Structure 1
Amino acid sequence: MGKNQHVVPHNGKWGVKGAGNNRITKSAETQSDAMKIAKEIAKNQKSEMIVHRPNGQIREKNSYGNDPFPPKG
């Protein structure tokens, strides 16, 4: 399983950043465009995409990894 991908505000735009990385992997004009980029990376790495609000709060999470089915609990 690869690194989770975070969609975060970055210099007035939006960026995609791997968990634990200091640098932005890719930058985009809109949050929607950044989410598309993060989704592709997360699918390739079988990880999660975590979308943040402009204030840094987590807005949503989507998992593209090997989720157990049925879910526990």
Structure 2
Amino acid sequence: MVGKKPGVETYNEGGVWKNRVQGNQRASSTHDTKAQAQAAGRDMAKGRSTEHIIKKMDGTIGEKNSYGNDSHPPKG
């Protein structure tokens, strides 16, 4: 993974939606709704030119979007 920047995760913890850069312990931002957190996470990922991982309430990955120089960009 040389040169690959850590992605931005949007996740729920204790009923609060949060964003953090993968590998960090602390959230970068907190939000009341998933929609607010997703919008902020998307902006973070775009600004960092990296991937945005959106998790469901149960912690499983619901969606991934890439905003960087991805060698396998999504089709469509």
2:39 aligned residue = 36
1:20 partner letter:
G
Change in CA separation of 1:52 and 1:69 when aligned onto 2, cut-off 3 Å: closer
Q: Distance in 2 between matches of 1:69 and 1:60?
A: 16
The count of aligned residue pairs is 71
1:61 aligned residue = 64
- So what's the TM-score if we normalise by structure 1? 0.86
Q: Which has the higher relative contact order, 1 or 2, with Cα contacts under 8 A spaced 6 or more apart?
A: 1
Contact 1:3 1:45 in 2 (8 A): no
| Offset, 1:70 | 7.6
Contact 1:47 1:65 in 2 (8 A): yes
- So what's the TM-score if we normalise by structure 2? 0.83
Structure 1: which 5+ residue stretches go unaligned? none
Residues 29-69 of structure 1: CA deviation (Å, up to 9, x unaligned): 01110000010110010000000011100000000001348
1:9 aligned residue = 12
